[in-house]
Structure 1
Amino acid sequence: MTTAVQTAAAAPTTATATPPGGKKSNLGWLATTATWIIAFIFAAPILWMVLTSFHSENDATQRTPQLFAPLTVEGYRNFFGADGGASPWPALINSAWAAIVSTLVVIALAIPAAYALSVRPVRKWSDVMFFFLSTKMLPAVAGLMPIYLIATRIHMLDNIWFMIIIYTAMNLPIAIWMMRSFLADIPRDLFEAASLDGAGLLQTLRKVIAPIVSPGIASTALICFIFAWNEMLFARVLTGVVAETSPVFLTSFVTSQGQFLAQVCAAATVISLPVLIAGFAAQDKLVQGLSLGAVK
C-alpha cells in the first residue's frame, strides 16, 4: 500500500517535469526566427532592387511583380553607356576620390582631437564636445545657401576639392565623438609607460594608440566613407559636370520621358557595391569597433 501511494504521488511530478534548458531553448528558437524575419524584411528591398535590375523595362514597370520574368543585362548596358548614353565612370571616380580623401583627412584630424579630449583633456572639454555635437543639430539644407554663396565667391563651384572640404567638415564631429569613446577606454598606464620610455605625442599616437584602437578607427572610417559616398544634397547643388558624383548621376535616369526603373535599379546596385564591399571587408573590425567599450 505504501509503495502504491508513493508511486501515485510521484507520477504527477514526473509528468509535469520540464526538461533542463527547455524554456531557454524555446526562447532561443523564437529569437532566432524573429531575427531572420527582421533581417529578411530589411534585405527584401535590396534583393528586389537587384532582381529588378536584371529585368527589362517592360517587366520592371508592371503593376504585378514579375518574379520569374526573363533576365537581361540591358539595364547595366544602358548604365555604363554601351548604347551611347553618358558614361558613369567620371561620377564614380569623383565619388571615390571625395569619399576616400575626406575620410583620410577626417581620421587624421579626429584622432589628435579625441586624444586631447579624452587622454589629455583640455579645459572645459565638455563644452567643446557639445559644440561639435551642436554642429549636427543644424539641418543641412539650412546651411546650403551660405555654402553656395561662399563657393560662388571663391570660384569653387563644380570643384571636387570643395566637396572634399564639405565632406570633411560634415563628418569630423561624429568622428571625434566616436574616437573619443574609443580612446577613453584605453588604460592610462599605457600612456604613462610610453611617456616614461620617452615617446613623444606622435610616437604615442602611432605606436601605442593606433594599434589598440584599430577597430575603432576602421568603424569610424567606414561610417565616414558611407556618409560621404551617399551624400547628394550638397553634391546636387554645388556640382555640375566636372565634379558630379554618383548619387547625382543616379538622378539622371529619372527624366521627363519617364522613370526607367530597370536602369535606376541597375545604377543603384552598381553605386551601392563599393559600400557593400567595404562593409563586408571590414565587417569584423566594424562590429568590434562599434561594440568597443560596451562591455566593462
Structure 2
Amino acid sequence: MSAVTTTAAPSANLAQRGKGAFLGLLAWAVGLLFFLPVAWMVLTSFRSESDAATNPPSLTAPLTLDSYREFFGGGASPWPPLINSLTASLLSTLLVLVLALPAAYALSIRPVKAWRDVLFFFLSTKMLPIVAALLPIYLIAQNIGMLDNIWLLIILYTAMNLPIAVWMLQSFLAEVPASVIEAAQIDGARLPVILYRVIMPIAGPGIAATSLICFIFSWNEMLFARVLTGVTAQTAPVFLTSFITSQGLFLAQMCAASFAISLPVLAAGFAAQDKLVQGLSLGAVK
C-alpha cells in the first residue's frame, strides 16, 4: 500500500509541475500577444514616413528621430494639450477620492441600510452610454458658457469615475479590521481622524489602485474632450487626431505622438505597480 502511495506521489507532482509550466507559457504567450502592437507602434515611431508606410512593413528600415522632432518642434505645440490632460486627470482623480472615500466608508465600515442596493445603483449609472448623454451635456455647457473649458472636463471626469471608485474602495475598506477602528474610537478619535490616520494607511494600496485606474480613464477619455473642447481645453487624445489630415495619415508621427502621450500613464503604472497589485488583491475573495 505504501509503495503504491510513494509511486503515485511523484506522478501527481510531475503532473502539477507540467500544468504549472503550461499555464506559465500560456500567460507569457498572451502577454506577448497584447504587447506586440505596442512594440510595433514604438518601432514605427522611429521610422521615416516612407518606411512606415511600406506594405509589408520592413524590419530592417533605418531608425530616425525625425517623427519626435516633428512632434515636439514641428507644427502645433503638444504641451498645452498635455498640460490640459494632466490637469483634468489629476484634479478629477483627487475630487473622486475626496468624494468616494466617505461614501465607501458608509457602505463598508458603517454600512447604511440596503447598502448593496446603493452599490448597484452606483454601478448602474455606468450602464448609460456616454453618447446618449452627450447632447444634453453639450446644450447645458453651451447655455452656461462652459464649452472649451477645462473645468467642465474635470467635473465630467469626476462624475464618470466616481461610481467605479466607490465600488472599488468599498471592497478595499471592507478588509480593514473593525478592532483597529474600535480602538481608535476608544482613544477618542473622531471620524476625520479615523478616516485619514487609521483607514487610509491600511487601505493605502487599494486607494492607490483606485487612483491609478481613475487617472488612466481620465487621461484616455476622448469623446467628451472631442465634442466639448476646441483649442483652449484640448486634451492629448484629441491632439492625436490632428495627424489625420486631408493629405493622408502621418503614421510615423502618429506613433511617435501616441508613445509620447502614453508615457505619463506608463510611468505612473510602473511607479505604482507594487501598490496596484496589492490593491487589486486587497479586496479579493479569499
TM-score w.r.t. the length of structure 2 is 0.95
The alignment partner of 2:282 has SS state of: coil
Match of 2:30 among 18, 21, 38: 38
The alignment partner of 2:260 has SS state of: helix
TM-score w.r.t. the length of structure 1 is 0.92
Q: Which blocks of at least 5 consecutive residues in structure 2 are unaligned?
A: none
Note the C-alpha offset of 1:193. 1.1
* 1:59 match: 51
Match of 1:91 among 81, 98, 104: 81
Note the C-alpha offset of 1:295. 4.9
Describe the shift of the 1:243–1:294 C-alpha distance in structure 2 as closer, same or farther (beyond 3 A): same
Match of 1:100 among 67, 90, 95: 90
* 2:165 match: 175
CA distances 1:183-213 after superposition (whole Å, capped 9, x unpaired): 1121211221111111000000011100000
Note the C-alpha offset of 1:240. 0.3
Letter in 2 for 1:75: S
* 2:66 match: 74
The alignment partner of 1:31 has SS state of: helix
CA distance in 1, matches of 2:183, 2:238: 50
Match of 2:184 among 185, 189, 194: 194
Superposed CA RMSD in Å reads 1.8
The structure having more radius of gyration, on CA atoms, is 1
CA distance in 2, matches of 1:68, 1:31: 34
Note the C-alpha offset of 1:24. 2.4
- The aligned length equals 282
* 1:23 match: 15
CA distance in 1, matches of 2:162, 2:14: 49
Describe the shift of the 1:106–1:16 C-alpha distance in structure 2 as closer, same or farther (beyond 3 A): closer
The structure with the largest helix share of the pair is: 2
Answer yes or no: is 1:276 the counterpart of 2:272: no
Note the C-alpha offset of 1:141. 0.4
Letter in 2 for 1:207: R
Q: Which blocks of at least 5 consecutive residues in structure 1 are unaligned?
A: 1-9
Letter in 1 for 2:31: A
Letter in 2 for 1:42: F
CA distance in 2, matches of 1:126, 1:20: 43
